[in-house]
Amino acid sequence: MAVAATSTEIRTDPFLLEIIRNFLITTCKEMGIAMMRTSYSPMFNEALDFSCVVFDGKGEMVAQAPYVPAQIGSTVHVVPTAIAEVGAENLEPGDVIFTNDPYRSNCHLPEFVVVKPYFKDGRILAYTANIAHMTDVGGMVPAAFGDHQNIFQEGIRFPPVKIYERDEEIESVFKILISNVRTPKHSYGDMKAMIGSLYLAERRIDELVTRHGVETFEQCCDDVKLVSERLMRAEIAAWPDGEYEAEGLLEDDGVVPDRPWKIKATLVIRGDELIVDFTGSDSQCFGPANQTFGTTASAAYNAVLHMVSSDIPYNHGCYRPISVIAPPGSFMNVSYPGACVGGNSDTHPTTVDVLLEAFSQFSGRSSAADGGTCGCIGFGGQDPETGEPYAHLHLEGVGWGGRADADGNDVQFVKNGNCANTPVEVAEARYPFLNIEYQLEPGQVGHGKHRGGFGSRRVFRFLADGVHISSHTNRHRVKAWGLFGGGEGTNTILAFRRAGETEWVRAREAFGSASYGKFSNIVMNEGDEMLFVTPSGGGYGEPLERDPELVLIDWRDELLSAEQAREHYGVVIDEAAGSVDAAATEALRSERRGGAGL
């Protein structure tokens, strides 16, 4: 339920409040830079798949850096849960809590969470924390993503436990962790990078408290939350009261063939409070596409923050007016021992798009659906040069949906991630494959007054035998939807061909998997190739209303042909002159409209 503020009066001088707020945000950013520079895996130092936060002594978030939205939304739940379970009274200076349990409001198993108390004058004044995606967590596939049917297949799971005690490693916990993953050196190094960033943040907070005093720091923590709460309540109060429903489908769960799973959302606006209710969504699925409560709450916050018009500082206060209902045992709140590794990555973006469709019923700030997949493809095997095991998680951008004032972005990571893919040069230097092609995928896209963004096309060629490929991807069958007359996006394509063959074959036909996009441990050998085409976003508004000059730009960029311009937008391009034939375009559009304006 929504949590009321403890005070309604802002007592801190506004200039000082802004200085301290920005100091704390900068501290979170500095934590991320430290993790990037000291980590071992590309998930940290290239994708930046982590988030860094500061909580006050009450266990409420007061600052975050703008890294991964899916993680940031869950930290407001998983960090207090971890502190409560270990017990703040059981913590001492130099202790660090660690957990990755998805059933305790975490996103999914690969998200490792570490929390460190900051003590001043014998009591806890703040907590530093971060959450980061660990590439490998054991389980049945390298890099975690496949067609699991329960949590035990997904990897090793830790409840909240101390991993540091009085500034010393608890060796037994580290031993358990590195004995259950394929890449122990990388996992150990990444964990140390996470913990090191907590110590850095602790030093920065101590500098701040020493400069301004304990009382001022505590009052500022209360006030930054109160400012955000006021701003969020003002945003919600400006929206019309009522109930707004929308629903969408995830195409399959990787286990039951061709069985879609429904996400239903209802926005309930009452004055300055918002309820996001997922009652009516399907029961939890048999595969790994389920969402945890932490993921679902984060998706709700994600969608809301896309809709606000003011620059609201992200902290515990901005979440107070928002309540999230997700029935246990449903697709939106998985119960033990259901699998859920894919829910945070590939169900989350569809959840956000369903909510944005509901928001579109009263707001022009919404958008059509995006490509709806993180492109999670895991590579694993034995390095032919070193003989050591490796695990790599590939991420890929998609086309975003068009919106009221612009086209969707091309090949951008989905809304819940904000991550970068691993550069070609880095991946090829570390792992046994080449990128034979990498480009925008031209042609079909979600057409509209503002079209959807384009996806990408990539071809991998493998340089060694025994490369295990696992996948959790979406949009192979269900396309991104458009809004207000905009067209659907395109589908994902994931296909394979053996060395010497010419035809691409999809996973279901080639390997007998239940799903085109969710499968485990397909083995590729030297010379084999994999094609990966990511989907485009949906269009926004009627295609015949698109500015002909924008159509011409896409033609010049070879993203659509003159025939496609004519077919989808009613735009006639004079290819010889390289320009729009305005008279012919107007005549064609008038004919399409039946002589009446849209």
Strand 242-250 versus strand 168-169 pairing type? unpaired
Residues 146 and 213 in one domain: yes
Mean pLDDT of 241-254: 97
Q: Is residue 300 part of a domain?
A: no
Helix ranges (H only) for 238-343 are 293-307, 316-319
502 DSSP assignment: -
Phi, psi angles (nearest 5°) of residue 274? -130, 130
pLDDT in tens, 277-316: 999 999 999 999 999 999 999 999 999 999 998 889 999 9
Confidence of residue 595 (pLDDT cuts 50, 70, 90): low
pLDDT in tens, 155-171: 999 999 999 999 999 99
Q: What is the pLDDT of residue 310?
A: 83
Mean pLDDT of 267-271: 98
Q: What is the pLDDT of residue 443?
A: 83
Q: Which of 212, 227, 242 is the last residue of a domain?
A: 227
The half-sphere exposure of 165 on its side-chain side, counting CA atoms within 13 A, is: 9
Q: Is residue 278 part of a domain?
A: no
pTM: 0.95
Residues 397 and 524 in one domain: yes
Residue closest to 489 by CA, chosen among 595, 436, 414, 587:
414
Confidence of residue 7 (pLDDT cuts 50, 70, 90): low
Mean pLDDT of 108-117: 97
User: What's the Cα-to-Cα distance from 59 to each of 6, 33, 116, 470, 549, rounded to whole Å?
Assistant: 14, 24, 11, 38, 53
The CA distance from 333 to 290, in Å, is 7
Residues 531 and 557 in one domain: no
Mean pLDDT of 403-420: 93
Residues 440 and 556 in one domain: no
Gap between the terminal Cα atoms of the chain: 44
Which amino acid does the sequence have at 530? M
Residues 536 and 556 in one domain: no
Q: In the predicted model, is pLDDT for residue 8 greater than 80? A: no
Helix ranges (H only) for 283-370 are 293-307, 316-319, 348-359
Q: Which residue has the tokens 């503020």?
A: 5
The CA distance from 318 to 325, in Å, is 17
Residues 473 and 460 in one domain: yes
Q: What is the pLDDT of residue 3?
A: 42
Give the three-class secondary structure for 175. helix
Mean pLDDT of 566-592: 97
Q: Is residue 209 part of a domain?
A: yes
Confidence of residue 69 (pLDDT cuts 50, 70, 90): confident
Residues 402 and 497 in one domain: yes
Residues 522 and 564 in one domain: no
Residues 449 and 485 in one domain: yes
Q: What is the pLDDT of residue 418?
A: 86
Question: What is the span of the domain harbouring residue 432?
Answer: 367-541
- How far is C-alpha 130 from the chain's CA centre? 16
The enclosing H or E element of 377 equals strand 376-382
Q: Which residue has the tokens 């975690």?
A: 144
Taking a C-beta distance cutoff of 8 angstroms, is the pair 571, 551 a contact? yes
Q: In the predicted model, is pLDDT for residue 209 greater than 50? A: yes
Q: Is residue 318 part of a domain?
A: no
Residues 36 and 163 in one domain: yes
pLDDT in tens, 169-184: 999 999 999 999 999 9
Q: Which of 210, 227, 244 is the last residue of a domain?
A: 227
Q: In the predicted model, is pLDDT for residue 4 greater than 60? A: no
Q: Which residue has the tokens 């046994």?
A: 432
pLDDT in tens, 352-376: 999 999 999 999 999 999 999 999 9
Q: Is residue 2 part of a domain?
A: no
Confidence of residue 5 (pLDDT cuts 50, 70, 90): very low
Phi, psi angles (nearest 5°) of residue 250? -95, 130
Mean pLDDT of 202-223: 97
| Total of domains in the chain | 3
The enclosing H or E element of 62 equals strand 61-64
Q: What is the pLDDT of residue 417?
A: 85
Residues 463 and 547 in one domain: no
Q: Is residue 253 part of a domain?
A: no
The CA distance from 25 to 91, in Å, is 25
Q: Is residue 8 part of a domain?
A: no
Mean pLDDT of 251-271: 97
The CA distance from 581 to 568, in Å, is 16
Q: In the predicted model, is pLDDT for residue 109 greater than 80? A: yes
Q: Is residue 276 part of a domain?
A: no
The proportion of the chain whose per-residue pLDDT surpasses 70, expressed as a percent, equals 98
Cis omega before residue 327 (within 30°)? Answer: no
Q: In the predicted model, is pLDDT for residue 598 greater than 60? A: no
- How far is C-alpha 17 from the chain's CA centre? 31
Buried b (16+ CB within 10 A) or exposed e, 540-568: bbbbbbbebeebbebbeeebbeeebbbeb
Helices 348-359 and 293-307, interaxial angle, to 10°? 40
Q: In the predicted model, is pLDDT for residue 469 greater than 60? A: yes
Mean pLDDT of 15-21: 96
Helix ranges (H only) for 457-572 are 507-511, 548-556, 562-569
Q: Which of 194, 210, 227 is the last residue of a domain?
A: 227
544 DSSP assignment: G
Confidence of residue 563 (pLDDT cuts 50, 70, 90): very high
Q: In the predicted model, is pLDDT for residue 523 greater than 50? A: yes
Number of Cβ atoms within 10 Å of the Cβ of 126: 28
Q: What is the pLDDT of residue 57?
A: 97
Confidence of residue 594 (pLDDT cuts 50, 70, 90): confident
Which residues, listed in sequence order, are joined to residue 394 by a DSSP beta bridge?
Answer: 377
Average pLDDT, the chain: 95
Residues 164 and 205 in one domain: yes
